[in-house]
Amino acid sequence: MTEAESARTGAGADAQAVCARHGNNPAALLEILHDIQDEAGFVAEAVLPAIAGALNLSRAEVYGVVSFYHDYRRAPAGPVVVKLCRAEACQSMGALALIEAVCAARGIVLGGTSEDGVTIEPVYCLGNCALAPAAMVNGKLVGRADTERLDIAMREARS
């Protein structure tokens, strides 16, 4: 299977192995889904039956969990993921205008992925509310975010 194919099906993650690593414990479902997403970039529909089988859950139960939590992606994101905080403290420092500017610069709406592979998502508080507006770029926290600082962080994320 090519890399592109495995990315499409999400088969890059061996769901059974991940479940086994967590002792096939249904209470570890969130951790299992995180691990799968960390490996494959998203939680593919195709892996749900294997998880359900390993944990002795129904497919609906697994699906219910995947769909409940904001973290789990059902489709791959771009190689650069920018989470922009739009909670109150960041709003007080102009977060909404910043979000608009960042999206407009890439011609996408919040939640979308630009042609150059930047996914921009909302988030509600990153615990950096004294250095608002806050953002997270590929897991790295950015304080006092503005378009310039975000561009630098995105460049670093690619390199």
Partner 1 sequence: MTVVVYVPRDSAARSVGADAVAKAIAVQADARGVAVKIVRNGSRGMFWLEPLVEVETGTGRVAYGPVASGDVAALFDAGFLTGAAHALALGPTEEIPYLKNQERLTFARVGVIDPLDLASLSALGGLDGLKAALAMDGEAICAAITESGLRGRGGAGFPAGIKWKTVHDQPTGRKYICCNADEGDSGTFADRMIMEGDPFTLIEGMAIAGLAVGAEDGYVYIRSEYPDAIETMSAAADLMEQAGWLGADIGGSGRSFHLHIRRGAGAYICGEESSMLESLEGKRGTVRAKPPIPAIHGLFGKPTVVNNVLTLATVPVILAKGADYYKGFGMGRSRGTKPFQLAGNIRQGGLVEKAFGITLRQLVEEFGGGTASGRPFRAAQIGGPLGAYVNDAMLDIETDYENLAAAQAMLGHGGIVVFDDSVDMAAMARFAFEFCEIESCGKCTPCRIGAVRGKETVEKIQRGENVAANLELVGDLCETMRDGSLCAMGGLTPMPVLSAMRLFPEDFDPLHSKSGPLMAAE
Binding site for partner 1 (CB under 8 A): 25-31, 33-34, 55, 61, 64-65, 68-72, 87-93, 96, 123-132, 134, 136, 139-144
Binding range to ligand FES, per CB under 6 A, among 50-58, 71-79, 125-133, 146-154:
125-133
Q: Which stretch binds ligand FES (CB under 6 A): 10-18, 86-94, 102-110, 112-120?
A: 86-94
Q: Which stretch binds ligand FES (CB under 6 A): 6-14, 25-33, 109-117, 120-128?
A: 120-128
Query: CB neighbours of 145 closer than 8 A, spacing ≥ 6?
Result: 84, 98, 133, 134, 135
Burial of 105 (0-12, 13-18, 19+ CB in 10 A): middle
Q: Is 125 in the site for ligand FES (CB under 6 A)?
A: yes
Instruction: Count Cβ atoms below 10 Å from residue 29 Cβ, excluding itself.
Output: 19
Partner whose binding site includes residue 64, from ligand FES, partner 1, none (CB under 5 to 8 Å by kind): partner 1
The Cα 18–Cα 29 span in angstroms is 10
Residue 144 interacts with which of partner 1, ligand FES, none, CB < 5 to 8 Å by class: partner 1
Q: In what order do the strands lie in the sheet with 140-142?
A: 118-123, 80-85, 135-137, 140-142
